[in-house]
Structure 1
């Protein structure tokens, strides 16, 4: 007979699963309902104001109203409405409002820029690329001069791609767009002017090559913010009409009823892969509705190469059959497919594994878009590396297989002194530490000093209510005193994977916290944990949170059964 605790977990899992299945589309995917974003909206209204001012006037005015309504009480903006203030969304939103109506928006812009100054100004942005981006938007609004900024060397594109691909990676499109904007507002002189003139067509060709790999014309990465930057760049470059019109039409087609825009348009695949794996770990592996979901995921495997990243066919991206293939999304989809075994996964599973293996860095780690890149935002990532290790183990690899061994050695050698790990695409220290610990635990290395330090770091970071937040990151917008379902689920599952028993009070408190956070509809509230711009702009994903919660509760239920948890009152 199940204990009271077992019964609560079972009820929670069943409620969440049935709600998710009820929302599943006929072909097997799930709609990813998530709030719209400040950066997507601010970028879109600025781009439409510059590139399509007359036709898009009503959209621009609607976006401005939404931005004003999304301000925090102190005058700043977070990644989404109501989220804690962060510097990049605040600067970009203020610049967009000033660009649209300097007099009418004088007071909100003044408050926002004073707030930015109180947090150290643009100098507080540690990423030089984001400093330049922020300064550029202020210059577009007439709030700052671009003169004196370091020149963007677009002539790099005149070299063979193998010489610049690792340096530019996924930033190729904004690199070109920003070079065009800079040349328009701070014209190069002397040799710089000649080099820019020589590289202009190479820049337009690079943008065209990126667009050829997209799902939709004008949609660069399905990212309204990035499309906005490219749209402004094309306008400044005096580009041929078609690419600019495609970018404008893409933005116009994606505006929401309340006047706002998402950052990323298409996240059904990445969120759906988390949900599919969570449901499998919660006991639904053979459910025909989940079989249908895995069939849909297999059908989204890319069958064309993506030359910009020098990526062969066989990977997955967040948008689906086309778009930007990347290692994190591919590993997540493979994780969802692997639970059903090779017989069901067939050639898509084998092909995806080969693709992921081919993307491993020479050092043993995985980044995100381009192997062995020198771009910090696409460099070696503990989270992606740990996820890739788990995928290999799920598919029958041994910890001693050469690729797995090199990845484990990399994880063992790249722990932070305090026992934690970072993640490139999720905030703070909890996700990276939890994923690395889970991979080490599954590979039999939980007792290694590195595994012990990671476990101790996670346990130290647990909050008094049993949850986890981002940890002490010192990043504006991170609140280490409040937990989220995502971060708590990552930590709970990792601690169980490294051998912390289910009847440990700390495990029990974490599981209780997740159970208590479940909403009346059976699902969990999403936190602002997904990074759009590393450490500077976050977004919310309504599917990932439910996949992680189910995965953690499934692991907890299995651990309870394994240890014969004694019945007690909840």
Structure 2
């Protein structure tokens, strides 16, 4: 047994339990974000210019300090440049003070042009968002832009829910902004008048499901977009004020904003899984964490997504229920099984099973959606398979079998898998490999290709990064703790021996990356906008590292036992 692994796990657990709140949760300490800050500044400048002037000025100073040497911005301070944060930040600075911010804005826009301009954004929604912010700042116009069909909301929700999914709120907001800056004419004007009321009603239904008034998804960036849209639509002042007050309440001491406000639940579920996998499943402090996670199960339906009660969202007992967070919480609860309020576990499993696509996969918010950014997702599908197996399902269970068949049929040609909510190719490939290994399919040709693809992507120092994605902001050279931990656990689940040099190098790299306080440094691997804006989660990294080291320790012990028996 490697004493370094024991010491590493003990040190991390000691630090994490010391940080735990009395209710069993953990504070998610993470850096603030460029999009959250730029969006909030633009919204307050438009909707609350007099009262919020000091906040906007402080935000501008923070945003200028966060600009990269190349003239662009990444998701957080120090992250590699990406197009969406760069366009939004530049447009916001120009909106606030065209003359005073002339130089930083020019540098940013020159950089955007060097990467192909806004046209290089392959996602039509994000391309339209970028053009809209440039138009708001007077740096462009919306003439010729494809019209957003707000009248779609005049149809029954079942006819538009699968197309819009979690983008319904920004869809409405962007339609309001477009109508203000490029008013419809003729019949379109009459349709928009009726659709405007439908859009306001939909936003009202979204807000009624939130934890806080004005907090759409607990997402400052989305709240900002909605706030601007409501202002352009001439919405009731109280509705606009809720969004403004939400943004004002979330500003940080340095003048910046987070993208997502409440991520304690998703990060806490990763921590609970990691600590249990590292040998602390029965610790009373982890029992308390599981109690907190169960208490966050949603007891109300979320009609906009047609979601029944029983799931989890990233904010807590209310908010947007989604499949990824629910699967992660269920994985953390499965350790205790029926011993700790098994009714919550069974209810959550039924909820997750009801969200499976007809094809066998899982997306994130709405089953069978046609929105590419929602689903189907290999990572969520593989995670859901692992949860089902953790809770006693057989690989031949119909739902599990359909999910495995979907994964087997949807591998990329190079042997990898993507993940909708984590960058690059490492997380999706690793989770698929875990699912295959757990289901007894490690020897399947598809699983072997995934394993070889993962091994090929290992960097010279033993770590993993995102892989060769070709996406702006994805640097394949430096490894991260998150991606290395995903890969290490996957290789062990696929049957690669613990004493294999490649596995040992990965474990050594994670051990060496541990900080003096016992924790690991988080990287910008979490996607806020697929391939266009990333953020950092300070809890997920520690949960993944502990889970991987726990698997490595168990594999080392199994090897020792086998050798003794031999």
CA shift for structure 1 position 340? 1.1
Aligned: 1:49 with 2:45: yes
Which runs of 5 or more residues in structure 2 are unaligned?
none
Aligned: 1:547 with 2:543: yes
Asked if structure 2 preserves the Cα contact closer than 8 Å seen for 1:136 and 1:146, the reply is yes
Q: Give the corresponding residue for 2:498.
A: 502
Asked if structure 2 preserves the Cα contact closer than 8 Å seen for 1:503 and 1:565, the reply is no
Q: Give the corresponding residue for 2:131.
A: 135
Work out the CA distance in 2 between the residues paired with 1:441 and 1:69: 47
Matched position secondary structure for 2:534: strand
Work out the CA distance in 1 between the residues paired with 2:371 and 2:291: 35
Bigger shift: residues 137-146 or 336-345 = 336-345
Spell out the pairing of 1:444-523 with structure 2 (5 A cutoff). Answer: 444-523=440-519
Aligned: 1:409 with 2:405: yes
Q: Give the corresponding residue for 2:287.
A: 291
Of the three residues 254, 266, 269, the one matched with 1:270 is 266
Matched position secondary structure for 1:221: helix
What RMSD, in angstroms, separates the aligned Cα atoms of the two structures?
0.9
Q: Give the corresponding residue for 2:237.
A: 241
Matched position secondary structure for 1:538: strand
Aligned: 1:93 with 2:93: no
Work out the CA distance in 2 between the residues paired with 1:223 and 1:551: 29
Work out the CA distance in 2 between the residues paired with 1:361 and 1:146: 36
TM-score, normalised via structure 2 length: 0.99
CA shift for structure 1 position 565? 8.6
Aligned: 1:194 with 2:190: yes
CA shift for structure 1 position 341? 1.6
Q: Give the corresponding residue for 1:386.
A: 382
Aligned: 1:440 with 2:436: yes
CA shift for structure 1 position 120? 1.1
Q: Give the corresponding residue for 1:396.
A: 392
1:107-142 Cα offsets, whole Å, 9 max, x none, are 000000000111111111110000000000000000
Aligned: 1:59 with 2:55: yes
CA shift for structure 1 position 471? 0.3
CA shift for structure 1 position 486? 0.2
Q: Give the corresponding residue for 2:199.
A: 203
Asked if structure 2 preserves the Cα contact closer than 8 Å seen for 1:337 and 1:345, the reply is no
Work out the CA distance in 1 between the residues paired with 2:562 and 2:327: 37
Work out the CA distance in 1 between the residues paired with 2:188 and 2:426: 45
Work out the CA distance in 2 between the residues paired with 1:174 and 1:232: 10
Matched position secondary structure for 2:550: helix
Question: Structure 1 residues 399, 566: CA separation in 2 closer, same or farther (over 3 Å shift)?
Answer: closer
Aligned: 1:180 with 2:176: yes
Asked if structure 2 preserves the Cα contact closer than 8 Å seen for 1:338 and 1:345, the reply is no
Matched position secondary structure for 1:179: helix
Asked if structure 2 preserves the Cα contact closer than 8 Å seen for 1:305 and 1:311, the reply is yes
CA shift for structure 1 position 566? 11
Work out the CA distance in 1 between the residues paired with 2:200 and 2:124: 24
Work out the CA distance in 2 between the residues paired with 1:341 and 1:350: 9
Q: Give the corresponding residue for 1:325.
A: 321
CA shift for structure 1 position 288? 0.1
Q: Give the corresponding residue for 1:356.
A: 352
Q: Give the corresponding residue for 2:32.
A: 36
Work out the CA distance in 2 between the residues paired with 1:243 and 1:556: 52
1:4-48 Cα offsets, whole Å, 9 max, x none, are xx1000000000001000000000000000000000000000000
Work out the CA distance in 2 between the residues paired with 1:387 and 1:195: 43
CA shift for structure 1 position 408? 0.2
Matched position secondary structure for 1:564: helix
Runs of 4+ in 1 over 2 A off after TM superposition: none
CA shift for structure 1 position 345? 4.0
Matched position secondary structure for 1:531: strand
